[in-house]
Every structure is written in C-alpha cells, then in structure tokens.
Structure 1
Amino acid sequence: MEMLAAVMKGTNQPLAIEKVELAPPKAGEVLVKIMATGVCHSDLNAIEDESTPLPTILGHEGAGIVVEVGANVNTVKAGDKVALSWVPFCGTCEFCRTGQVNMCESAFGPMFAGTLLDGTSRLSQNGKLVYHNSLLSTFAEYAVVPEMSCIKMPNGMPMAQASLIGCGVATGFGAAVRAAQVKPGSTVAVFGIGGVGVNAIQGARVAGASRIIACDVKPQNLEMARKFGATDVVNVGEVNAAGALKELTGGYGVHYAIDCSGNPTAAQSAWLGTRKGGTTVVVGAFNPKKELSLPAGGFHRVGKVLKGSFYGDVHPFRDFPIIAQLYLDGQFKLDELVLDRIALPDINKAMDAFHDPCCVNVGRTVIEFGGESA
C-alpha cells in the first residue's frame, strides 16, 4: 500500500514528507493505522546520529487502530485500539521466562539495523529499501509492527494520550512503581523533571508516597512538577541537592531517589540524598564517556540499593493498560502532557522546537492523522 510518511534522508536534515510503500504484515506482525504519535527528543537524537541507517522513517511513540494481522497473531484483532511499545520481547529467553521482559535482547539487533524482528523491512520507496526505526516508524499513516509491540487499549482511551504511554510515560511510571517499588507513606525524590520525570512523580503519587520532592534546575519545570503531584521542589542549581533532601526529611534522606536526568552528577546527588537502607534508581541514559562516582568509605554500612532501570522495568502488556485505566479514572494526568497537536507536514516545526532552551519540555507535541482520535 502507498502512504504518506516523514522520511529521514540525511543526518541533520529536515524530514521529507513523501509517499512510501508499505508491504503487508508477515507472521507475527500487525498492520496499524496510526492515529497519533508523539515527537520525542530521541527522534531528534536519531536525526543527529550518523549511525542512523538511511533513508528511515522515525517515530516510536504511537497509537492507532489495528487494520490487519499476520499469521499466528493472537493478542489483537482488526478494529482494536492499541498503544505501541518500541521494545518488543521474545517471551522465551532467560529474561522473559523470569518476567524481566524489558531485559530481552531480541529487539536490539534489528533495532540498530533498522529492520523488523526477522531482519527485513516492510518499507520501500520507488523500489528501494527504506528502514524502520525502533521497530515501529510511527511518523507515517500506517505501520507494520511486531505483535509484541501492540498493547490493546480500552475503547474509551483517546489516541493522542495513548500514544504517549509507550515511551516516557511508561518509563517514568515504571521507575517509581516497578523499579523503585515505592511504598505507601514513603518519601521520594525525582531528579530531572522532563517527560520521564513528571511521570515518575505521578507513579510515586499513585503508589502512595507521602512526600515527593522534584529536583531540577529549571524553575518552570519545578512549577510544573507540583501540578503532577510534587509536594516540594528543590532547585539543584541553587542549593546542595543531597543536603536539601536531608533537610526536608528530618536529616535522614529520602526512602527512594529516582534520577531521570541522564547526568552522573545528579545521580550522585540522588545517591547521597537517599537514606540508609533506601533505594536509588537511575533511569536516565548516561553519556558512555562519563563516569559515575560514589564515595567508597562506609559503602557497605549504609545498606543502600543502587539500581539501573531500562524502560522503567515495565511489562507493557501489564502496565500500559494499568496506566490507561488510571487515566480514565482521573488518577493519572495525560491531557496535560499533550503540549500541541499538529499534522504530519508540520513535523519539522516540532523538531526545531527542541533547539529552543526556553521551550516547555514536560510533555510532547503530538502528530494526529485525522479520523477517530478522541
């Protein structure tokens, strides 16, 4: 079939809105009509990354309606509303068998190669190969994706909000609820109040934390954090973060600290601001050239847990529907994360906005494709 898509043809170049061809789904794959897709900073990273295979169709935060399923697909059918996960899993490896589906390695080879799970592409243009991105490629009217990327949504779930669940929302929620395992009545600090951080705040709130402390350098982000459930804010550019956390918790430090910033200095502050026996979770991706330094003296005596978390330790088939239902029940804010709604031809405006240091980054611009999206 022919469809309209935003095609990346060169590094650091605007995306081209062009017609491309999409082949039917094979066994274990699903054809989805994309109704909405978030524009994530990771998409800009791909545009600036010389290792991104070209040409490619970006986009990894999507939601839509199932049009057709390939052989052996059992979890969804035509007409289902779905949110898409960019980390499908095999279900049979050591990690999947023990419930750690976010640790499955099956997606990463194809992901870096720009293919689907079988090592081939369903995308082409004028008879030439076009690559997938994150096994989804949602900057297009349709996408063929792995069955294990399709999570059925409740009928009343709006598509713009559903599209955001698949990346930053799930990661932040999972960082608090799954990775940190925040307990009712506990104290939590969240470092880096962006698209992941505000949802870590929401996850901590849903889990019953009594005090949630937002830590960032941007006053506007800290103010936004209060709207999502932060009880206190700390501008880490103005005060010593670890000292401030201890001051706010009677000198002990927080039970849980979650670093969403990707900054080793913030992760160090999170660790230092966590009390004895507490847990520090790092969900932000560090620059591999950087190092994380922690004090060695007395390390064994404090009994703390330092945990790295990929994708917030979520299980998409368990956690996506939970988040959707929390939203529908008025217990999880997603409307506020939709910063703007645009059409596909305006996508480069959304990309350009990432270069504006004053732009609001607590949320997403969402591309909508028309039709049923409410």
Structure 2
Amino acid sequence: MKVTAAVFEEAGKELVVQELELDDPKDGEVLVRLAASGVCHSDYHVVKGEWGSPSPLVLGHEGAGVVEAVGPGVTTVEVGDHVVLSWVPYCGHCKYCNTGRPALCPQVQESAYQSVMLDGTTRLTRDGEPVYSYCATGSFADRVVVPETGAIPIRKDAPLEKVALIGCAVATGVGAVINTAKVQAGDTVLVIGCGGVGLSVVMGAALVSAGKIIAVDINDDSLARARSLGATTTINSAKTDLADVLHDLVGPDGVDWAFEAIGLKRTIETAFQSIRPGGTAVIVGQAADGVTVEIDPLVMSDREKSMIGSSYGTCHPAVDFPRLVDLFMEGKLDLDVLIARTGTIHDINKAFAAMGSGEAARTVIAY
C-alpha cells in the first residue's frame, strides 16, 4: 500500500515528505494506522548527525494509532485495537525480559537499533529499494508495520494524539523515577533539563510525593511548565549559580536523587556533583556518540555516591503503558503541558527547527 512519510536522507538536510510503498505485515507483525506521532530529541540526534543511522530512513518512534491488520501468529492485539507504539520489540523470554527489563533484550539491539524488523529486513520501499524504519517504528508516516511487541493495546477512550507521548518521553521520564530509581515519598529530587523527558521526570516525582522537586533549565518557558507539573523550585542555570541555590535549598550535602535529562557531559557531571553522600545520579538523557564524562572515583567510593543509567524508564511496555494511560485519564499525569503545538507531516522540519532553538515542549504530528 502507499503511505506518506517524512524521509531522512543525510545529516544536515531537511526531511522530504514523499510517498513510499509499505508491505503487508508478516508473521508476528502488526499494521497500524497512526493518529499521531511526537517529535523527540532522539530523532533530532540523527538529523544533526550525532547518531549514525542507515538511510534512507523514516524517523519517528513515539506514536499511537489503530490496528488495521495483523500478521500470522499475532495474539496480543486485533484489528480495531488502539495502540501506543513501543520502540523496544522485545522477545519476551530472554533473561532480561523474564526479569522485567525488556529494553535490554538483545532482540532490541538487533532490530530496533538497526532500524529493521526482526528478520533483518524492512517493510518500506521507494522505487523498489529498501527504506529503513527508525527503531523498527518509523512513526513519521501515516501507517506503519511494527513487531507485535511494538504495538501495546490501550483503552479506546484515551485521545491518541496525546497518549502517543507515552511511547517515549512519558515512559522514559516517569519510569526513571518509579521503576529505575524507585524514589520514595519525601526524597529530594533534582531534575536537570526540562524537555519532554525531564518534564516527565518532574511528573513522576510529583506522582510519588517526592519532597523538594528542583527543576533546572536555561529556558524560562520550560521552567514554567515544570512548575505547573509539580516542581517546587525552578532554577534558570544561565542566570543563577546552581550550586549556590542547592546549598540554600538542601544544605551542603546535596539531593537524594539527581536526574539528568539532556545528555551533555557538563550536565551529567553536575548531576553527580549535586547528590548527597549515599545519593544517586540517574542518567536519563541520551548523549551524542563518543561523549564521555569525568567522575572522581574516590568521591564515588568514599562517599558511596552512585551513578546509574535508565533506558526507557526501565519500563515493561505491556504493563506500564496502559497504566500510564490510566493515570493520564484520571488526571494524575498532565500530557497537555508537554505539547507546544500540533501540526501535519509537512511541518516536520519546522518541528526540528523549534527543537534546535531550545524549545522544550513537543510538536505532535497529527495524521
């Protein structure tokens, strides 16, 4: 069938909206007619050339829609189901899946990270040549074929143009608090970076009744959004010295938890420097290829400070996505604050330009 998609050719060039051919779903695959896709900073890493990726490529990995067809052997979804896409097409039986950490499944590395399906091929073509689907998802298209575990069924009364964000930003940020860190009520939390993921960390911290929730960014609009989501203090680090403010807020020791949601060397190091003895820095942001950080190992061991990573919020999509949708529908997660605007696929390059200008909130592409 014909689909309309935004195609990435090479770093530094705008995406081109064009018609592609999409094959029917094969064994264990699902065809989804998309209602919406969020524009995520991970896509922007590819556009800027900070992450290598095959091309031509349909970017996008944060989407929601309605199942139109299923391939042989599919049992978890059926035609007409509403689904949120997941970019971790896990196997369900390896040691990582069996311990509730499907983002670490080797199958994800072999397929999604290579922008191919589980059999190593693509379902998109252009003039007979293969076109790759980013993270085995490729949600910058009006229809997609994804592995069965990449289509998570949800309740049908949830607005798809909003819950699409659960497929990446919300699951990553809220999950980092609840699943990875297991923040306790009353804990002090620092959030560095208030884009879609960082704002979702703020929501997660508020959801578990963290004590002080301190949000840091250099964009005042982002900080205003953080306050509306539960941040108790906001700091514009371009105008104010973060260390001085933290000293006044929590004392000389630092915070219990520091979540870094940008992926920069200096902010990762700042997160580690900001935690108390026995505290933990949680690295949620995705850094460009080749970035390394400098941490004093004596401080780490002597003060029992920890630094841990969080991939996809350590979530189990089949369990966590419906739960996050329920929380949104019950008014306990405010996804509207994460959305700056809604556009069409023809606005995709404007969305990346807004991201490059420092705007934090998401653009949502509606189909």
TM-score range, shorter chain: over 0.9
3-state DSSP of counterpart to 2:287: coil
Stretch deviating more after TM superposition (39-48 or 330-339): 39-48
What letter is aligned with 2:101? Answer: Q
Displacement of 1:240 in angstroms is: 4.0
3-state DSSP of counterpart to 2:33: strand
**Equivalence for 1:12:** 12
Does 1:224 pair with 2:225? Answer: yes
3-state DSSP of counterpart to 2:74: coil
Q: How far apart, in 2, do the equivalents of 1:178 and 1:163 lie? A: 20
Does 1:80 pair with 2:81? Answer: yes
Instruction: Report if the CA contact (8 A) 1:57-1:139 is conserved.
Output: yes
Instruction: Mark the CA change 1:112 to 1:100 in structure 2 (over 3 Å): closer, same or farther.
Output: closer
Instruction: Mark the CA change 1:214 to 1:162 in structure 2 (over 3 Å): closer, same or farther.
Output: same
Instruction: Mark the CA change 1:143 to 1:299 in structure 2 (over 3 Å): closer, same or farther.
Output: closer
What letter is aligned with 1:3? Answer: V
Q: How far apart, in 2, do the equivalents of 1:65 and 1:163 lie? A: 12
Q: How far apart, in 1, do the equivalents of 2:129 and 2:13 lie? A: 20
Q: Give CA deviations for 1:325-358 in whole Å, capped at 9, x if unaligned.
A: 111001101012221111222322223323334x
Instruction: Mark the CA change 1:244 to 1:295 in structure 2 (over 3 Å): closer, same or farther.
Output: farther
Stretch deviating more after TM superposition (92-101 or 297-306): 297-306
Displacement of 1:57 in angstroms is: 1.4
Q: How far apart, in 1, do the equivalents of 2:335 and 2:306 lie? A: 31
Q: How far apart, in 1, do the equivalents of 2:218 and 2:350 lie? A: 26
3-state DSSP of counterpart to 1:121: coil
**Equivalence for 2:208:** 207
3-state DSSP of counterpart to 1:106: helix
3-state DSSP of counterpart to 1:317: helix
What letter is aligned with 2:337? Answer: E
Displacement of 1:175 in angstroms is: 1.2
Instruction: Report if the CA contact (8 A) 1:242-1:269 is conserved.
Output: no
Instruction: Report if the CA contact (8 A) 2:64-2:85 is conserved.
Output: yes
Does 1:59 pair with 2:60? Answer: yes
For 1:1-374, what aligned pairs fall within 5 Å after superposition?
A: 1-49=1-49, 51-357=52-358, 360-361=359-360, 363-369=361-367
Q: Percent identity?
A: 39
Instruction: Report if the CA contact (8 A) 1:216-1:236 is conserved.
Output: yes
Displacement of 1:239 in angstroms is: 4.1
TM-score by length of 1: 0.92
RMSD: 1.9
Q: How far apart, in 2, do the equivalents of 1:48 and 1:350 lie? A: 14
What letter is aligned with 1:17? Answer: V
Displacement of 1:262 in angstroms is: 1.1
Instruction: Mark the CA change 1:112 to 1:242 in structure 2 (over 3 Å): closer, same or farther.
Output: same
Instruction: Mark the CA change 1:25 to 1:269 in structure 2 (over 3 Å): closer, same or farther.
Output: same
TM-score by length of 2: 0.94
Stretch deviating more after TM superposition (293-302 or 85-94): 293-302
Instruction: Mark the CA change 1:249 to 1:10 in structure 2 (over 3 Å): closer, same or farther.
Output: closer
Q: How far apart, in 2, do the equivalents of 1:201 and 1:297 lie? A: 30
Displacement of 1:112 in angstroms is: 4.3
Instruction: Report if the CA contact (8 A) 1:246-1:273 is conserved.
Output: no
Instruction: Mark the CA change 1:295 to 1:48 in structure 2 (over 3 Å): closer, same or farther.
Output: closer
Displacement of 1:104 in angstroms is: 1.2
Q: How far apart, in 2, do the equivalents of 1:268 and 1:9 lie? A: 34
Q: Give CA deviations for 1:52-80 in whole Å, capped at 9, x if unaligned.
A: 32222111111000111111111111111
Stretch deviating more after TM superposition (340-349 or 322-331): 340-349
What letter is aligned with 2:33? Answer: K
Instruction: Report if the CA contact (8 A) 2:169-2:196 is conserved.
Output: yes
Instruction: Mark the CA change 1:191 to 1:88 in structure 2 (over 3 Å): closer, same or farther.
Output: same
Instruction: Report if the CA contact (8 A) 2:61-2:138 is conserved.
Output: yes
What letter is aligned with 1:194? Answer: G
Displacement of 1:320 in angstroms is: 1.1
Q: How many residues align?
A: 366
Stretch deviating more after TM superposition (138-147 or 124-133): 124-133
Q: How far apart, in 2, do the equivalents of 1:13 and 1:263 lie? A: 23
Instruction: Report if the CA contact (8 A) 1:59-1:136 is conserved.
Output: yes
